[in-house]
Structure formats: C-alpha cells, structure tokens
Structure 1
C-alpha cells in the first residue's frame, strides 16, 4: 500500500522546517568563515569586518531615515548597537579558546535564562537548572583533544550569552519604536563603529586584505542576510512555538558544523551535555509559548543575534 501524497499544507510546513534548519546551519557556517579570519586579523578584526560588512548590507537594503528619528529612537538603536558589538566581540574571542559547539551551548544560557525568568512560572526555572547542569558536564568533558576547556573561553561565551539576552530585550523595544528593520540597520552601524578602533589597533591594514574582506563578507552574509531571509519566510508558515523549538537545535548544529568544517571533535560526555542544553532550550521555548509571555521573553523566536 502506498502512502498518500503530501498535502500542500504539509509540504509547505516541511519546506519551512528545512528553511529554519538551513538558517541555523548558515549561522554556524558563517562562524567558521569568521574563525578562518582569526590567523589574519584576530578575533577583534574578524568581529570588525563581520559587523561593518553586515551594516553595509543592512543599510543598503533598509535605508533607515535616521535624520527623522526621535531622540528615544536614536538612543534605543545606539544601545542596541552597543550590545551587538559586545556580543559579537565576546563570541568571536571565545572561539579562539573553545570549540564552536561548546561556545554556542554556553551562549544559549543567556536567552534561555531570560525566557525562563520572564515567564514568571517557577517550574520554568527547572529548564535553566537543567541547562546549567549540561554546561557543567560540558566543562568536565574537556575540549575533545584530551585537555580541559579554557576558562577564559567559557567566560567569554557566557558573556556573549548575557549580551544575547540583552539583545532579545532591546530587539523588542527597538522593533516597537522604529518601523521595519531600520533600528537593526542603525544598530549594526553603531556596532561596527564601536568595534572598529579595537579591530584597527589589532589587525591594522590586514583588515583590507582581499582574503580578509572576502571571508568577512561571507561571515556577514551567512550569519545574517541568508538566515534572516529564510526565517522570515519560515515564520509565515510555522507556529512560533515550533519555530522556537527548531532554533533550540542550534547548539547541536554548531557542534556538527564544528566537527565537519573545523575538525573539532567532542567527547561523548560533551555531546550528551549539548543534548541536555538543547532539551532545556526546547522546553523553555515551548513553556514560554504556552504561557503567552511577551515577545521579548521567547527564546529566541523574535530575535536572531548577528553573531556566528
């Protein structure tokens, strides 16, 4: 007996799921492009190129009319940009110390904790405790090469996670204050300008090297333009709860991309720890959707950070 052909609705949903997973993979591939910049420009230089080129693409696409904005709109966008700059710089710095999958897993604690806290439901804190347990196990698992995880790398990834939580909160406020994507475009410019002095001091003229520019552009496109476009279409076809749970797979996808493209193997204990964090993230997202919390409390359905 043959199965019935898929209905147009199921086909549409299946395509949307593939788009979300493709977007998550694209973000992590963008991170590998950025990490390839490290020997040439360092982490700060990579963040500089990533943010400036992303800002250029965003401004050309959106063309925000900042001269017509109110003082509040300008201040919110500037704060948004500062958080964006700190998040990207901390994350890329973390990648110089720890594997990609580990960095993304630690970073996820930021929006996960935010989602649990803003639900105002005590049982949602269970997901945070579960995720913390996963990160502890992750630390015990080491770096996959017989050594311990570098504390500096873990600390930087956790800092990036805290900034991601701030990004989620500010994303909702900027989105409400500034129409369209103008606030994000302006914030990208601010972020690039804030990181530029550090990137120029550490990388100098290497920022203008053709290979550096090419890799920086690849990181900008793969980590923001492509995934944002895919997710925008997918959100029209999927419930927000499903979308958020799919994004919760990102630590696992990051570990897979790190293994395939960067030869970053992880011990079995670390793989288990990542699975625990993915479970906690999915649980928090589903719980947030059931509780009908504000948009800025949902992980990370309404806010895609521009890091890798």
Structure 2
C-alpha cells in the first residue's frame, strides 16, 4: 500500500509534463511489460484462454487508473483514495448478509458526504475531481468482480493479459494527449519508477501477503489504504487535510475495517 500510494504521489509530479492521461499510459504500459516478463503469458496457448472476463477485467483496470489519475488533477491524494475506496467497500457490503453492516454502510456514506462539495460541512473539493474518483471506485468494483472470474478461468495469466488489454486502449489516449512528450528521456526514468511502485511491486507483494496472511487480516490491513494515501499526499505533495476531510477519511477506514472484520467472522 505504501508503494502504491507513493507511486501515485510520484505520478502526480509528472502531470505538469505529460498530463494525467500521459502518466496513466506510461504506468500501464510499463506495468504490462514488467508483468509479461514475470508471468510469460505466451507459454499458454491462445485457444485455452477465456477472453471475455479478461477483456472486462482489463477495461476496468484501464478506466480505473485513468479516472483516478484524472481526479488527482483537482483533489488531494488522500480524499481521492478514500472516495475511490467506496468501490471495494460497496462490493463487500453487497455480498454481506448481516443487518449490522448497515451501520458500517451509514458510516461510509457519512464519510463520503463530508468529502462531497455541498452542505455546511463541505470539504470544498472540486466536483469534477470527486465524480472522477467515484467513477474510479465503480471501476474498482467491476475490477474486483471481473478479476475473480478471470482468475478462476485463467489463473495467474489474467494479470499480465488484463494489463495488456488496459494498455492497448489507454496508451493511445495518452499518446494523443501528450504527443511526443510521452517519449521524453527526461521523464522516462520517473515514469519507469511509477510503473514499478504503482503496479509491479505492489501486485507482487500482495501475492506474497495473500499466501502468508489470513483473508480477514489482509482485508483489514487494506482498509488502511486511504490513510496511507493521505500520509503520502502530505509527505510528498505537501497536501494537508481539512478537519472534515480527515474525519471523512477516518469514517471510511473504520467502516471498511468493520465490514471486513464481520466478513472474517462469518467465514471462520
């Protein structure tokens, strides 16, 4: 999570050079190359690959990253991560059958309300940035559901193939926006680090963590991601949070911990 959010902060530093579209293109492009080198998907015959879930998974992955980076143009990293986190939170609530989880849902909605640009307690965030972060959350929810189906059908090969699908339609968007600036030698080293820290390294570490930790523990740790986003935004981008933004991020974190802990109890 620290790698992922640190990579997002590093990516935002490139926005002035090639825009959010260009940064997204380079991140996904480099990640696809790295993941293909690691997993070597060409070893599996094409006729054995179930493509439909991979296409949905890859499309959701590309749209999620593009919308999230676009949101960072106008709102701080911490609130953007918290708003985007509504996606996996919604998936967890949808599959929950516990009436008590309505309390955690209400807490998450209250947190989102504090981040939306209306009301007396408004955090004053840009409406376009908020909507883009919400769309990224929707894409994250689709990514989770489609990723499970793709993984069940194709195993680990879903990761590099999904990344390739994302790169195929996101890279042209970045190229159209940034032009030849996308290949500037001055930004490529930083873009390379973004690809490593935002995709390759966290995905690899997650795979190791999932084999070492119980699902409940892993999910609870993941709930802290909005907090790490806020910390990275403050340390690397000098983005502070207002009181209402801090309370909102805390509400979403507590809501996620409550829901994932309840799911863990149901499965135990």
Partner of 1:177: 153
TM-score (normalised: structure 2):
0.93
Partner of 2:9: 32
| SS in structure 2 at match of 1:120 | coil
Is residue 50 of structure 2 the alignment partner of residue 50 of structure 1? Answer: no
Distance apart, 1:125 and its partner CA: 3.0
Distance apart, 1:37 and its partner CA: 1.5
Could you tell me which runs of 5 or more consecutive residues in structure 1 were left unpaired when the two chains were aligned: 1-23, 143-147, 294-308
Match of 1:41 among 11, 15, 18: 18
Match of 2:50 among 51, 73, 76: 73
Partner of 1:86: 63
Q: Distance in 1 between matches of 2:27 and 2:173?
A: 13
Give every structure 1 segment of 4 or more consecutive aligned residues whose post-TM-superposition deviation is greater than 6 Å.
none
Partner of 2:180: 205
TM-score (normalised: structure 1):
0.82
Distance apart, 1:58 and its partner CA: 0.4
Distance apart, 1:216 and its partner CA: 1.7
Higher alpha-carbon deviation: 206-215 or 54-63: 206-215
Q: CA RMSD in A?
A: 1.7
Is residue 144 of structure 2 the alignment partner of residue 168 of structure 1? Answer: yes
Partner of 1:16: none
Partner of 2:200: 225
Q: Distance in 2 between matches of 1:91 and 1:217?
A: 19
Aligned residues: 264
Partner of 1:128: 105
| SS in structure 2 at match of 1:97 | coil
Q: Distance in 1 between matches of 2:113 and 2:38?
A: 42
Could you tell me which runs of 5 or more consecutive residues in structure 2 were left unpaired when the two chains were aligned: none
Contact 2:92 2:259 in 1 (8 A): yes
Is residue 265 of structure 2 the alignment partner of residue 290 of structure 1? Answer: yes
Contact 1:44 1:89 in 2 (8 A): yes
Partner of 2:256: 281
Partner of 1:102: 79
